[in-house]
Amino acid sequence: MTTSAPIRFRVFSLNCWGIRYLSKNCKERFVRIGDLLNQEQLDIALLQEVWCEKDFLFLKKKLSSIYPYSHYFKSGFIGSGLAVFSRHQIHDAFLYRYSLNGYPYMAQHGDWFGGKAVGKVLLNINGLKIHVFVTHLHAEYCREKDSYLPHRVVQAWELQQFIRHTSAAADVVILGGDLNMHPDDLGTRLLRNYTGLQDGFNEAVNFDGCEEGHTHISENPFTNTDNLVPFGGGIRIDYILFKGSGEVDVSCESLSTTKGPLPGHPFPYSDHEALTAEFLFTLTTKGNGCSERQSGCGSGICASMLGS
């Protein structure tokens, strides 16, 4: 580790809803997503549902002057949909495909064919080892009769194991993506408690965005509003989570979301709202990371959560 001055690091996450020929205004929206990323000049962008590699290659070309490094994670029949664009060199990349991911006979849902997974890239910024993860868990579809709940819980369990076992040497850990889980769902609590990851929405010093940080809102014209009525018109299922270490303190200085339709434009970026977080990395002898013991990652935590 060679840095001493604090480092600002901006992260973007968006489920792009990029199903060619099925998603509305797909081609036009990828143009606008590329424009937004170039305008924002972030450190890293974590995208989900970039199902077509042609759309990834389009973005790679469009973003190359500001984000010269990128990676597309391939998995399943139609890919994982996960893509990363970075201003900083990607030193390594790895994908883990979840062992349980829907049913092949539920073709109308398509999750099984996509090969849901978690992707990881390694960055080194001024001597700091930054481990960045992007993921997209199985969709819920119907909360009252959720036949996929066990699948998401297993995926959350495998996700936390993958993060814990591959980031022991990290100075900073960041996870972004569409978890398809509410903040208090079992899978979300498993993930946070076992990894020690903190929720950017809860920890942000400043927030600008949808009420309660919602990322799936009734004001979005691409959204099926009937599913959101029981929740007051919005839910939070997309996240940027983070953790420091014993040597690096990480604070979330700000978090923002897009807010559905944009003035002067006929459609939003996606059926989900985008998240942008700004972090401050500060070298310290007592960082805000956690060991398994400090984060409550022992065997007893699972029983307590299941009983809550």
39-61: per-residue pLDDT in tens?
999 999 999 999 999 999 999 99
**Which of 88, 131, 216, 272 is an active site residue?**
272
Is position 2 within any domain? no
Q: How would residue 142 be classed by pLDDT, with cut points 50, 70 and 90?
A: low
Is position 164 within any domain? yes
Whether residue 123 is predicted with pLDDT greater than 80 in this model: the reply is: yes
HSE-up of 254 (CA within 13 Å, CB side)?
Answer: 10
Total count of domains within the chain: 1
Q: Over pLDDT 90: what percentage of the chain?
A: 70
Neighbours of 61 (CB within 10 A): 10
**pTM for the model:** 0.90
Q: How would residue 148 be classed by pLDDT, with cut points 50, 70 and 90?
A: low
216 is catalytic: no
pLDDT tens string 153-172: 999 999 999 999 999 999 99
Q: Output the pLDDT for position 304.
A: 54
Strand order of the sheet with strand 69-73?
69-73, 82-86, 44-50, 7-18, 275-283, 248-257, 206-208
Q: Cβ-count burial of 6 within 10 angstroms (0-12 exposed, 13-18 middle, 19+ buried)?
A: middle
Q: Over pLDDT 70: what percentage of the chain?
A: 84
Is position 253 within any domain? yes
Is position 169 within any domain? yes
Whether residue 92 is predicted with pLDDT greater than 50 in this model: the reply is: yes
Q: Is 125 helix (H, G, I), strand (E, B) or coil?
A: strand
Q: Output the pLDDT for position 150.
A: 85
Residue among 226, 211, 223 nearest 269 (CA) = 223
Q: Which residues contact 23 (CB under 8 A, 6 or more apart)?
A: 17, 29, 271
Q: How would residue 102 be classed by pLDDT, with cut points 50, 70 and 90?
A: low
pLDDT tens string 67-82: 999 999 998 777 799 9
Q: Is 191 helix (H, G, I), strand (E, B) or coil?
A: helix
Place of tokens 């208090």: 184
Is position 65 within any domain? yes
Is position 53 within any domain? yes
Whether residue 266 is predicted with pLDDT greater than 50 in this model: the reply is: yes
User: How far, in whole angstroms, is CA 212 from its chain's centroid?
Assistant: 17
Residue 284 tokens read as 């310290």
Is position 285 within any domain? yes
* Residue 106 to residue 70: CA distance in whole angstroms: 32
Q: Which residues pair with 8 in a beta bridge?
A: 280
Is position 1 within any domain? no
Residue 95's CATH number: 3.60.10.10
Q: Output the pLDDT for position 176.
A: 98
> Which residues constitute the domain of residue 111?
7-306
Instruction: Determine contact, residues 283/1, Cβ cutoff 8 Å.
Output: yes
What is residue 104's DSSP assignment? T
